[in-house]
Structure 1
Amino acid sequence: MTRLTDKTVFITGGSRGIGRAIALACAKEGAKVVIAAKSDTPHPKLPGTIHTVADEIRELGGEVLPLVLDVRDDAMVKACIDQAANHFGGLDMLVNNAGAIRLQGVEKLKASRYDLMHQVNARAVFSCSQAALPWLKESSQAHILSLSPPLNLNPKWFAQYGPYTTTKYAMTMMTIGMAEEFRRYGISVNSLWPKTLISTAAIEFEAGGPALMAQGRKPDIMADAAVSILARTDQSLSGQALIDEDLLRSDGVTEFDHYRYAEGNKPLLPDLFLD
């Protein structure tokens, strides 16, 4: 039996990048997967939609439900989560993967962009978790997993892009709070962050450009770490801000070269917020 057989996983921002990788990894482990994202039609620059990922999962023999979702819309969030749970007969896991990034400081950043980052990052964790809670209470293996970093108060992580930093740290603080609040319901709540740069469209177009891609890893490492967390059947791991490589090493993984985005010996870049 695979590790997530008959479990239902709801993934926001699941149409590309890390979200897509987590969706495929969960499907390979037997999960029923809900791909919830805005990308209903192809983007001129970014490959992948909820439908293309759904097709990939079907090719693996998995069960999948693609849903159009804007995580800023509370009514849409609740409707999508309820639809998914009713479709599959319950909901076991919520992965808060949807994200918005702009690495600018207060002086140059448009207020509208800050609002977007706050809504898609911090606020969506609140909205999606609240909507999923009634269903997660009924699960015997309930998890909420948010893609956010450990809290590192070194001023260098605030100096150039404090607005983005604060929205990502807010996600982690929600993890800490919900882990305690939902402990009585048997729900595990954790955050997950990459030890190195992950080479995705967000890096290519928003945070460094194509030149950095060769110094990162594939999203698969985050997907494998996510599955490791979601597959745990008790609450022994909750309230933690976990790092992908460190978690996998604790699982006994020792070989990481296959996760490199590009061949060669270029040094891998540490991700943001890690000293």
Structure 2
Amino acid sequence: MSSLNGKTLFITGGTRGIGLAIAIRAARDGANVVIAAKTDKPHAGLPGTLDTAVAEIEEAGGQGLAVKTDIRDERQIADAVRQTVERFGGIDILVNNASAISLTGTLETPMKRYDLMHQVNARGTFATSQACLPHLLEADNPHILNLSPPLSMQPKWFKGHCAYTMAKYGMSLCVLGMAEEFRERGVAVNALWPRTVIYTAAVAMLQGMVKPENCRTAEVVADAARAILMRDSRSCSGNFFVDEEVLREEGVTDFARYAMDPAGQLLPDFFLD
């Protein structure tokens, strides 16, 4: 494949940040992009809605469809998948991007927040994959891409935010299991994680814990995602990719253009040993 032209992507939680960047990058190829997310009205502290995401997708050259979806509810997922297939005829690519985060310790994590992270991250990824797979199995070069980290059992990645790590690793365990389950049927299932912290609206809300000059933009992940999604699904599955490594394989050597501040000191992301 030389582009994603004509492919249909189903992206969860893509009204902003990395999900939206992946959507816009695919749209520049002429892809159809479905945004399945909750934000249909402006948020006081976060930019982006379903409508603004679709407007950006179409401005970039793709066709967009917004479906208000809470991926904690499998009925809403099923309806979003149905609308996607009715509009575009099928699904070629699923990007499990939606995620909830709380970098809090065991005593500081309310069970309501624990449940939210597990329902969105682990359960939502499983449920959305389950709903899309019947259509992916009918597609040419089908891919599932989870925005989740390599699995590492080092205690340092659990200390301080055990609940979040458990929930995020649930997405990665879906890669581990589904890649093998569907390998012979030709559906690629991979994970992608950034080498450095990506400056998104969610990071901006961490009250100064991370400064913009220590981050890259979401475009580095979007370019890496595009490179993965164009690979042969039968020979590229079960991988825990890191964005910078993917792009180096594609011949990229200049990463300064992805930096929020080319002179800044980049901060490594979580979960990378």
Same fold per superposition (TM over 0.5): yes
Write the distance in 1 (CA, Å) between the matches of 2:22 and 2:131: 21
Write the distance in 1 (CA, Å) between the matches of 2:145 and 2:132: 12
Q: How does 1:1-275 map to 2 (within 5 A)?
A: 3-206=3-206, 209=208, 211-261=210-260, 263-275=261-273
Which blocks of at least 5 consecutive residues in structure 1 are unaligned?
Answer: none
Calculate the TM-score normalised by the size of structure 2: 0.97
Residues 2 and 30, structure 1, Cα contact 8 Å, conserved in 2: no
Residues 79-120 of structure 1: CA deviation (Å, up to 9, x unaligned): 101210121011100000001000011111000000000011
Residues 27 and 63, structure 2, Cα contact 8 Å, conserved in 1: yes
Write the distance in 2 (CA, Å) between the matches of 1:190 and 1:85: 23
Residues 26 and 62, structure 2, Cα contact 8 Å, conserved in 1: no
SS in 2 for 1:77: helix
Count of aligned residue pairs for this structure pair: 273
Write the distance in 2 (CA, Å) between the matches of 1:37 and 1:15: 7
For 2:54, the aligned partner's letter is A
For 2:113, the aligned partner's letter is R
Percent of residue pairs identical:
51
For 1:246, the aligned partner's letter is E
> Shift of the alpha carbon at 1:210?
6.7
Residues 256 and 262, structure 2, Cα contact 8 Å, conserved in 1: no
For 2:161, the aligned partner's letter is Y
Residues 192 and 225, structure 2, Cα contact 8 Å, conserved in 1: yes
Residues 29 and 61, structure 2, Cα contact 8 Å, conserved in 1: no
Residues 101-153 of structure 1: CA deviation (Å, up to 9, x unaligned): 00011111000000000011011111000000110010011000000000111
The Cα RMSD (Å) is 1.3
For 1:243, the aligned partner's letter is V
For 1:239, the aligned partner's letter is G
Write the distance in 2 (CA, Å) between the matches of 1:191 and 1:172: 7
Residues 203 and 210, structure 2, Cα contact 8 Å, conserved in 1: no
Which blocks of at least 5 consecutive residues in structure 2 are unaligned?
Answer: none
